[in-house]
């Protein structure tokens, strides 16, 4: 299902566009793994496809379920909850993204790193920006105009030489870089090892 807003209230439609959950929420995430996060007033909670409360817990903020867990903000810190409502990673982080390929990006003291599903830090917080893992790679940044890619051990696979970097999909990722000469920016596609297979400069 997809969220939709009508007169400042959010609900959900099915794939045909039919309204299936009446707009009654102040905010709504897309459904993921059968549940959707919604906000009413200051409370964020999860509903099922019928629009009924699926997990009887309230949070300050929450993200979508992925790999069976969702990031939730309780008392100002982020942790992770499973679909039963049980908190499996104690809220201790300043920010948190979804799990992907067994790891999730979390922020501690202004830096992003990665944890596993037990909450163990696998890659220490050291990045200014970090995406979920995709195809064994995550785009991370060590500063302005310094984007690259790491693997699930934290090893640098693609050096931090790009202005911007997107997640991998079907073996390729889109990156933006400064041109070798002149103004502007160049766009390129790289493979999992960082080899540029196409660049706008060679069109």
In a domain, 74, yes or no: yes
Q: Model confidence over 65-91: pLDDT tens digits?
A: 999 999 999 889 999 999 999 999 999
In a domain, 56, yes or no: yes
CATH number at residue 14: 2.40.10
Q: Is the dihedral of CA 97, 100, 102, 105 positive or negative?
A: negative
The yes-or-no verdict on residue 123 having pLDDT over 90 is yes
Cβ neighbours of 48 (radius 10 Å): 14
Q: How does residue 1 score in pLDDT terms, banded at 50, 70 and 90?
A: confident
Cβ neighbours of 66 (radius 10 Å): 17
What per-residue confidence (pLDDT) applies to 179? 86
Q: How far, in Å, CA of 114 to CA of 97, rounded?
A: 10
Domains contained in the chain, number: 1
What per-residue confidence (pLDDT) applies to 7? 76
Q: What is the mean pLDDT of residues 95-118?
A: 98
What per-residue confidence (pLDDT) applies to 137? 98
φ, ψ of residue 201 in degrees (nearest 5): -75, -15
What integer best gives the mean pLDDT of the chain? 94
In a domain, 182, yes or no: no
Encoded tokens for 114: 């990665």
Question: Nearest 5°: CA angle at 196, between 97 and 151?
Answer: 35
φ, ψ of residue 202 in degrees (nearest 5): -110, 20
In a domain, 53, yes or no: yes
Q: How does residue 180 score in pLDDT terms, banded at 50, 70 and 90?
A: confident
In a domain, 175, yes or no: no
DSSP state of 86: -
Q: How far, in Å, CA of 129 to CA of 124, rounded?
A: 13
124-133, 143-152, 170-179, 181-190: the lowest-pLDDT one:
181-190
Look-up of token digits 């009887």: 56
What per-residue confidence (pLDDT) applies to 3? 74
What per-residue confidence (pLDDT) applies to 203? 47
In a domain, 146, yes or no: no
Q: Model confidence over 11-48: pLDDT tens digits?
A: 999 989 999 999 999 999 999 999 999 999 999 999 99
In a domain, 100, yes or no: no
Q: Is the dihedral of CA 38, 43, 46, 47 positive or negative?
A: negative
Question: Nearest 5°: CA angle at 61, between 89 and 136?
Answer: 55
In a domain, 133, yes or no: no
Are 27 and 14 in contact by the 8 Å Cβ rule? The answer is: no
Which range marks the domain in which residue 54 is found? 1-92
Q: How far, in Å, CA of 29 to CA of 35, rounded?
A: 9
Closest CA to 36 of 95, 24, 78: 24
pTM of the model: 0.92
The yes-or-no verdict on residue 202 having pLDDT over 80 is no
What per-residue confidence (pLDDT) applies to 201? 65
């Amino acid at each position: 299902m997809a969220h939709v807003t009508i007169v400042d209230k959010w609900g959900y439609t099915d794939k045909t566009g039919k309204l299936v959950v009446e707009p009654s929420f102040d905010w709504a995430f897309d459904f993921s793994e059968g549940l959707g996060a919604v906000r009413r007033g200051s409370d964020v909670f999860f509903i099922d496809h019928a629009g009924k409360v699926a997990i009887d817990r309230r949070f300050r903020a929450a993200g979508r379920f992925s790999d069976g867990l969702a990031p939730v903000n309780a008392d100002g810190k982020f942790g992770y909850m499973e679909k039963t409502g049980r908190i499996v990673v104690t809220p201790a982080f300043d920010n948190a993204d979804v799990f992907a390929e067994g790891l999730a990006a979390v922020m501690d003291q202004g830096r992003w790193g990665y944890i596993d599903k037990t909450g163990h830090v696998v890659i220490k917080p050291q990045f200014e920006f970090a995406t979920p893992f995709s195809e064994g790679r995550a785009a991370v940044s060590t500063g302005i105009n310094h984007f690259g890619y790491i693997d699930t051990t934290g090893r640098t696979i693609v050096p931090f030489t790009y202005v911007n970097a997107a997640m991998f999909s079907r073996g390729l990722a889109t990156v933006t870089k400064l041109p070798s000469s002149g103004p502007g920016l160049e766009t390129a596609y790289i493979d999992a090892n960082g080899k540029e297979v196409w660049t706008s400069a060679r069109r």
